[in-house]
Amino acid sequence: MPYIVGATAHGVKHVADVFHSENVFINHVPVALWLDPEGSEAAAYAAISAPTYSVESVTVLALEGETSADLSVASTQQALIEAGVISQAEVAAGNNAGANPNASDTAQGSGIIGVNTATVTVSGNVDETLLLSASQAASGIDYYVRTVTKQVSQTNRNGVIFPYDVATVAPANGYTAQEVCENLELLVKNCFDPIKAQYPKAFMTCSFRAAGRGSPSSQHPKGQACDIQFAGASKSDYFPIAQWIRDNVSFDQLILEYKTTGSGMPWIHVSYNKAGNRNQVFTFMNDRNCKAPGVTGLYDLSNA
């Protein structure tokens, strides 16, 4: 999840998650509060539904690394500490939690074989593309590609949420809109929809995004990955949820991600790759593997 500059407290600038941030506004209404789909979402959609709207942009300072790019994440963290954006104490608390987890579960992923054939028909307006119809979805939901700033009604809300325009950003990322939409379809079909069916409060905070932001090998710019949070969930709820996903969902990478900065709320990164799933399970703290690069397993770091 991208970071942006958040509030200043005690003279120190803190980071906030883009999709939780009070800094992302449409018509001065915060649209980044997906943490509470049953509350703030209505205000966000009302703002987007307005005849005209303007979106304030945000500056991305650092991004999650889904791979073992540990050195670059470490240097970014150091730069953020030196800039006063995050604190040494926050990073130390995260490192300590990684060394002393509440619980450890090093079981491997289930290796469930997923669906690898995409059938998506990309709409002329890419942002209206239907990825999975309610009749085929375990959750009974219609899933559309939805660029968050282009959602113009309160119907068909469920989508693959991102602030990037697929039609233009996909080619800029080196992929066709068709490729990205196919990847999103398989991601929804194999990963997100089963999770949504089991946990109706699940919601995507980020999926497709522009390349060049974050890990070079990130699967987000291909439409192969999404980040998920759960409305009303506490920090400690994420560990058992990640265990359920590991045992019941087909995936390439499953990453339980904690942080001691910004909102402090965890999220779950899930990816799907039709070319072959590695079935990897990791736990990250502040964008780094909580143990060491390449160490697998789920660790409950909700005590951080």
Please tell me whether residue 17 binds Zn ion under the rule CB under 5 A: no
**C-alpha distances in angstroms, 161 versus 34, 65, 228?**
10, 20, 11
**Least distance in Å: CB of 32 to Zn ion?**
16
276's CB contacts (< 8 A; 6+ apart) are 252
CA nearest 219: which of 245, 255, 259, 256? 255
Closest residue to Zn ion, judged by C-beta, is 269
List of residues 6+ apart from 287 with CB closer than 8 A = 62, 63, 64, 65, 73, 76, 77, 257, 259
Q: How many residues bind Zn ion (CB under 5 A)?
A: 2
Does 20 bind Zn ion (CB under 5 A)? Our answer is no
Q: Which is nearer to Zn ion, 142 or 227 (CB)?
A: 227
Q: Is 135 helix (H, G, I), strand (E, B) or coil?
A: coil
Footprint of Zn ion on residues 30-69 (CB under 5 A)?
none
The mark string for 191-230 relative to Zn ion (x by CB under 5 A, - otherwise) is: ------------------------------------x---
The sheet carrying 253-258 orders its strands as 202-206, 225-230, 267-271, 253-258, 280-285, 288-289
Instruction: Mark residues 226-255: x for contact with Zn ion by CB under 5 A, - for none.
Output: -x----------------------------
Q: Using the rule CB under 5 A, is 269 a contact of Zn ion?
A: yes
CB of 158 to Zn ion, least distance (A): 19
Instruction: Report the nearest approach of Zn ion to the CB of residue 66 (Å).
Output: 6
User: Which DSSP helix (H) or strand (E) runs through 98?
Assistant: helix 88-99
Rounded distance, CA 141 to CA 133, Å? 7
Q: Write down the least CB distance from residue 256 to Zn ion, Å.
A: 11
Beta strands in 1-111, from DSSP E residues, in sequence order:
3-9, 12-17, 25-26, 29-30, 103-105
Contact range with Zn ion by CB under 5 A, out of 37-45, 147-155, 246-254, 262-270: 262-270
Task: Report phi then psi at 159, rounded to 5.
Answer: -155, -175
**Residue 46: CB minimum distance to Zn ion, A:** 28
**In the complex, least distance from residue 261 CB atom to Zn ion, rounded to whole angstroms:** 16
- Nearest to Zn ion of 41, 227 (CB atom): 227
Residues found near Zn ion in the complex (CB under 5 A):
227, 269
